[in-house]
Structures are given as structure tokens and as C-alpha cells.
Chain A
Amino acid sequence: MGVFPFTKKSKEPATGDASDRHRVDARVLVYATSLGWCSCVQQLDGSLTDHQSGVTLLVDGGEQAVVTTALQDAVTANLPTIQLTKKIFLLLDELSIQVTGRMWVDGRPGSDDAWQYGRQWLHTDDCFMAYAELPPVAGGAETEQRPSIHAFVNARQLADCLAPVMQLGVHVTGIVPQELLLVHSAARSGEPVYGGLQIGSHASTLVLVNQPLGILRVHKIPVGLSTLVKAAACKVGISEQDASQALGRRDLLAEVLPIAPDDLDGVLLLQGRDARFYGLRTALTRLLEDLKEYLAFFAAQDGSSLPSRLELFGASKQVTGLTEWLSRHLGLPAVPYHQPLLELFAQMETSASSQFFSPAQHVRNPRQRTQTVLAHMTQAQRMQDRNLFIWLGLLVVLACYWGYAEYQEEFKSYQKYANDYLVSVEEREHLRKKLSAEAAYAASTNATDFTKFIMAEKLLSLADNMIKNVWLTDIYFVDQEKNGLTSKNARILVIEGNVLPNTDGHLQIIAEYMDSLFRDEKWFMSDFRNVTLKSVKEKNAAQPDGVPYVHFVLHALYDKSKRQEVGVATKKMINQHDQELGDLLNGKSGE
């Protein structure tokens, strides 16, 4: 069995054995009755191999259950071969198969009219139909309608019988009612008038054929092996199983005489149509009388001569002495069919002249096909399959939903992380801007840095603006005196220095130096309001080279407010920035 149904199956079997390849085109033949089963494999050359048989133990549920069990046992025993050959044909003689020799106006056997007739006969919505047609008479017209028999069986009943087999994965190719074998046997016998009796479990079927006249008659008699077994069991007081064995071992029929026509009690019993509790005599008489009546009818109604002998099929061998008893009382020699039934069955082929019950081909329209396929399955099977499909569907849906739910959970988690990431990125960007602003403010507008008086800055400025003729001697702060009072708030930077001689004059040099200081707004005058010349005196005694020079004193008036006034706007900016920073640290960022 392939695991994947959609993969292409290989034409060749998996095993490369030659015998296995040969089996592919062979077919399995199974004959199942309530008494047991037998099977064989028909090879391509027509030979029969792998003969198997079995006896079905009694099971509860009636005849159909017994046949079903026998069929299941037979299929199970041949399962490997069936799986290899894919072809199985069944021969059945039970299941209430109804047989008729009626002919329909529309001509060919197997017509819709015949099928409709079968449905009405069986009182069912659907039925299987099989038929067998007599071969054409030598010298007759090809188009001439030939006699045939039709067999009908309830489709649901047959499907119930085949359900266990289908559960094993086996699809039956064809089912042949045993009555059709009698027609086939008649065609093969070569006798112009042929008589055959099929003894089944609960009924027997008489088939009478006059080939030259084109007459085919079928008559069903409600006496079968089971009838005889039950009658014997009831009469002797033993179980049916013991009675069945006794009928097979001993000739219990030798001393049984048919009920005479003047035996009124016996006649009444026969009319009561229930010979079950009245011994073998009653049952055998019923069989005998029915045979006689129908043979007489065949001769009188159809104008046919009687057959030279009566071939017995079915369970005749299970009742010792039945053949002789019938020969003795019927007036016709009764002979059992000389070949095993499976051999005769193997010679039957599906053709225009015969048709088996074919569940797979039992199709008349698509709607009917659907109904037929559904009919193949029992209600329990359908319920079981429906439950399986529901569970499988539920499993698929649950698995998909579980996967979807898991994915949703994962996706939500991903979304949360993505959101956290975006929030973090935004927050980081915001903080980085704040930090950059803070760093910029700290670098450019540091309050201490901005308002501070830096003495080194003044020393550098005094040096940068220095003229080569000038050098300084003293620098110091003094408090400014106003009106003779010293003011601590007004301070003066005193710059004392000397000037070497120059052709332009000392004062010019001093003036240029003062001018340079005045122009140095950034570094020197940023803290001083004014620079004034306080004194200039000539001095030369202290110099070793004796070069005359002049000593000057400059006053630079320190103005503390000058830097602060300039920084008012900046100070406001700093305060605003501090406010924003405070808001940020207090958790008001981004609001």
C-alpha cells in the first residue's frame, strides 16, 4: 500500500520475482457459501493454482453473517495475492439472490428495464444485476434474441456483505451468482435439452434449457441443505452441526419414501410450507414434488422434451445419498457435476452474453454511481468513516489553529520588542540631543567660564600687544581712589614698563602700545573700561649698557559689570536650558 495516495504507482510490482510479475495479470477466484469457502488463483494460461479452502464456524447473525464471515476468511487467506493481482472474483449462492428467465421487449439482456424489474422485485432503491445468455444456436440469426437469465440482489445487502472485505482494502472485481454457472454449464454440455439443479443452503434452483427452441426456464425451490439439516436435527434430536455431519457421513435418505398423494397428513404438511419440524421426508418430498411439477410444466407449457439427466450443483455432495434418492424417485437420472465448481467458474468470462455483479461497474449515471458507492458501505462503516474524517479535519484545523496561535503570540512578542526598540531609539535620540545641547552650552556658556576674570588672559594680551621697544616691570592691582577714598569695588590694573629710545619718540611708542590694548577688545578690553597713561619718567642709571629709557605707568580701569552686561542674554539662555534640563530629569521629557 502506498503511503502517499497521490504518488504515481509503479506498473511493475515492487518485487522483481518473475512469478510475482506473472501474478499481476492473474485473478483470484473465491467460492464462499455458508458451509465454507474455497479459492484458487487463475493464471494467465488458465491453469488454477494455490488452491485453498476453509470451513466457516457457525456464527450468530443468520446466513448472511455466515457467508460474510466465510468471505472475509477467504479474502484474508488470499490477501497478499489479491493485493498483487488486484483482481478477485466471487462465486456466491446465497444472499437471497433472485433469478428469473424472463425476457424483455427491448431486446438485449442487462437493459434498464431488467434493472427496474429487479428493483421492483426486491423492493429496493438499488440492486445489482447479473445475467447470462445462451450462446447462439448454430445456423440461427445473429440478431435473434437469445434466452437468458437475470439475477438480482439487493445492493445494500451485498454492500453489507462486502463491507469487511472493503475494510481490508480489497475491491471485488466481479460477483457471480451460482445460477449463472448452470447456464454456462448448459452451453458447454452440448446437450439440446439440459437440466441443472443448484442446491443451496436455503433454496435450490432448477435450470432447464432447450437450446434448439431457445427456451430457458429457472425455478427456485425453497428447500436447501439447511432445510434438510434442520429437519434431520429436529427429527433425531441432535444439534444442527451434528445433523449436518451425520448427513454427510451416512446415507439417511435411503429409507425415506416420498409422501404419497393419498397421505392427507403429509399433503397438508407440504401445503403448510414449513417442513422444518417434520423430518426429512417432508422436506425431500417438497423438493421432489416441486421438481416434478416444474419438469411437467416445462414439457407441457414450452413443448419441450425433458432433459436426459439432471446435473446437481452446490451442496448435493454434502448429503450422502441425495443423488441416488432423486434419481430413484424423480424418474430422471441425477448426476453430480463432474468438475470442481471453481474450474467451471474459471471458464466463465465477462462478455456480451454474460455479466457479473460488478460493484465497480454498477453505474448508470453519476448520481447513481454516487449512490452505489455509498451503498457499498454499511451505515456503521459510513459512520466510522465520517467520524474519522471529522477527527482528521478537526486535527488539521486544531493543528493549524495552534500554529496560528503560536505565531500570533510570537508576532505579538516581536511587535512588543520592535515597539520597545523604536521607543528606545527615539528616547536615545532625544537624550543625545539634550546631551549635545548640554555639552554645547557647557562649552560655550559655562557661567564660571564666561564671567570669570582670567589673569592669564591679560598677561597674554599684554605680551601679544607688546612693541619691541617696550618691556614691563610691574603689574599689580590697586583700589581706585575717588575724592581721597579708596573704593573696593573699583579696581585698577597698574602696568609699569620702560621704553627704549626711538626716533619717533617715547610717547609715540607708549601711544601705540595703548592703542594696541584698546583694540584688543576680545582679550584685554573685555574686562577693562579704559586705559590711561599716568606718568612717564626718564631713567637710565640702572641699565648696564647706559642706554637712556623712560619709565611709564598705565592704569587699566577694571569694570566687572562690562562682562556681565554682555552676558545677560547668554545668562537667560543658560537659565532656559537649565529649566529644560530639569524637566527632562524630572521625567517630563518629550512632553
Chain B
Amino acid sequence: MNIWTSHKTLIVSTIYILFAIWVGAYSIFFSQLGARRHDLEIATSLLQVDIDNIKKNIEISYKNKKSEPASIRYLPVILARINEIAHNNEVTIKNFIMDDSVLPVKFHLNFVADYFTILHFTAELESLDIMIDDFKIQQNDDSSIPPQHAVSLSMIPNNMADPISGLRVEEVRKRVFAKDKRNPFQRFAYYVPRKMVYPAIDLTETYQLTAIGTQDNIPYAMIDRRIYRVGDYVDRYELVSVRQDRVFLMKRDRNGSSDYIINQRESRQGTTEVP
């Protein structure tokens, strides 16, 4: 009690100074350090999550690369993938034969389609881990536009026919989906009088151009006994130009635009057939 009475100032001052030092030290050093540590803790945990994800991706990539091509592991998956491709391209597979008499297992299938369908179907099929062993395109109906072809092919799926990636596959895919490509199985029109080829598909045998004229200085063409002007549609073909003895048309589809031409039909003797 006496000590407290005689040294109250000293004791209280010492306690106050200690408290002030503690508060100052806590606010200047301790709290800031704690906040930085907390930030580091969060940043490290986030980094660790990212690291785990990267490791998983690397491991998956590694396992994928290390897995050896082997026989089919689960057929339904492969069939489902082939079916999906056929469905996407509206291809009706007429025959599908599995040849497991020798390894590797082969599948033989055939269908009828035009060139662009064949191209899309083949490209999508080859974007899987499938090797096309045999391939055959034969004329089926060259009178139709575009021409229809009978396709038969043999393929050897690896593993589960998983999708593959790579620069070539990607570039092929881009080229397949590029517009305004030529159908190499489609014959262009031949203009007999001038003995030259127009880079357009000949519809002369499909439609009959019976007359060409002008009305109020606007050219028109009579096709299959109906009058069309520029901009009109003949079925799915847009009339784009009317010349003296022929008309040009254009059709747009998923492969871009294609040019068409309708000439006046000539008689077998070389004269123009006038109805």
C-alpha cells in the first residue's frame, strides 16, 4: 500500500508507457505483418489449387500419350461416335460390317452422298483416332446436281476412337468448312458455240430456257414457261444475270455459293431448240 502511495505516478506511468509501446508496436509491426501473412496464405492456397490443376492436366496428357494403341476397349462408344458423325452429316449408312477375323479390327461401311457430304463425313471421321484403310468413291447418279456417289470405306479404330488434336487435323477441319470450294466431281458447263468452259454448273438439262427478252428495259427470262427477272428464284437458284442466249444463277448453301448456267437447248443438229 505504501509503495503504491509513494510511487503511484511511476507505476501508472510505467504501465501506460508499456501499454503505449505495445499498442504502437502492434499497430506498426504486428498487425501489418499479420495482414501480409494472411494475404500470402490466401495467395499460396490459390497457387496450390492452380498447381494441382496443372498437374492433373499434365498427368492426363502424359497418360494419353503413354497409352498404347490397342484393340477396341468398348465398342458402344465407338459406334455412338460414328453414328453421331453420320447423323450430323445426314448420311445414311447402308452397310456396316465389323471384321474381327484379323487384328486390328476393321469396320466396313458404305453409303451414298454427294462430294461435300463425303468430305465432311470423312474429315470428321478422321478427326477421331481412326485410320481409314480403304476408300472408294464411285459414280452413282451423275445426272443429279450435285452428283451422288457411292462410297465404301474401311476403318480401323484405335482405343475408343477418341478425338485427336493436331495442326493437320485442325487445318483440314478449317479447309473442309471453308466456303466456295469446288466440287471436283461436278462438271462445269461447256459453251459449244465458243468452245469454252464456264466455271458454272450446267442446268440446261434440268430447266428449259424458252425465251429471253426485255420489258420496260428490264430483262427477263422464261424458264419452264414462267417469267423470271434478276433477283427472282428458280426453285433454290437465284437469277443473277440474263444474257442473250443464257442465264446465270447462284445458289447458297453451307459450302458457300455456287454458280449455275442455263443455256438454250440446241437440237441434235446443232440448232437452237425453240419451243
Contacts and interface: CB of A to CB of B under 8 A. Distances in A.
Interface in B155-179: 158, 164-170, 172, 175-176
Contact of B13 (A5, A432, A450): A5
Name, among B5, B59, B65, B170, the residue most crowded by chain A CB atoms within 10 Å (CB to CB): B65
Interface string B71-108: 00000000000000000000000000000000000000
B25 interface: yes
A460 B172 contact: yes
A581 B166 CA distance: 19
B135 A417 contact: no
Interface stretch (A99-107, A236-244, A544-552): A544-552
Interface residue tally on A, bucketed by range = 35 or more
Interface stretch (B41-49, B210-218, B221-229, B240-248): B41-49
Contact of B188 (A428, A462, A464, A500): A500
Contact of B195 (A432, A448, A501): A501
B197 A500 contact: yes
Nearest to A410: B33
Contacts of B62: 438, 578, 581-582, 585
Given A168-B6, A395-B18, A425-B47, A431 B55 contact: yes
Contact of B167 (A449, A464, A544): A449
Given A385-B7, A581-B58, A582-B62, A428 B132 contact: no
Contact of B36 (A414, A450, A468): A414
Given A448-B129, A476-B135, A463 B12 contact: no
Contact of A167 (B5, B134, B195, B204): B5
Nearest to B61: A438
Helix, strand, loop or mixed for chain B's interface?
A: helix
Contact of B119 (A452, A459, A476, A498): A459
B252 interface: no
Contacts of B145: none
B11 to A, nearest CB: 7
B259 to A, nearest CB: 11
B257 interface: no
A1 B9 contact: yes
Given A410-B30, A438-B61, A392 B10 contact: yes
Nearest to A547: B190
A169 interface: yes
A51 B202 CA distance: 141
A15 interface: no
Interface in A403-423: 403, 406-407, 410-411, 413-414, 417-418, 420-421
30 contacts: A3-B16, A4-B13, A166-B6, A167-B5, A392-B11, A395-B14, A407-B29, A411-B33, A421-B47, A424-B44, A442-B166, A444-B166, A446-B166, A449-B166, A450-B168, A452-B131, A454-B168, A456-B123, A459-B118, A459-B119, A460-B175, A463-B182, A464-B181, A469-B188, A471-B185, A473-B139, A473-B185, A544-B143, A546-B268, A585-B62
Interface of A: 1-6, 166-169, 384-385, 388, 392, 395-396, 399-400, 403, 406-407, 410-411, 413-414, 417-418, 420-421, 424-425, 427-428, 431-432, 434-435, 438-439, 442-450, 452-457, 459-460, 462-464, 466, 468-477, 497-498, 500-503, 544-547, 578, 581-582, 584-585
Closest 6 CB pairs of A and B: A449-B166, A476-B136, A456-B123, A446-B166, A424-B47, A417-B40
Given A501-B190, A545-B190, 10 more contacts: A1-B8, A6-B13, A385-B7, A400-B21, A403-B25, A407-B33, A421-B44, A424-B47, A438-B62, A463-B181
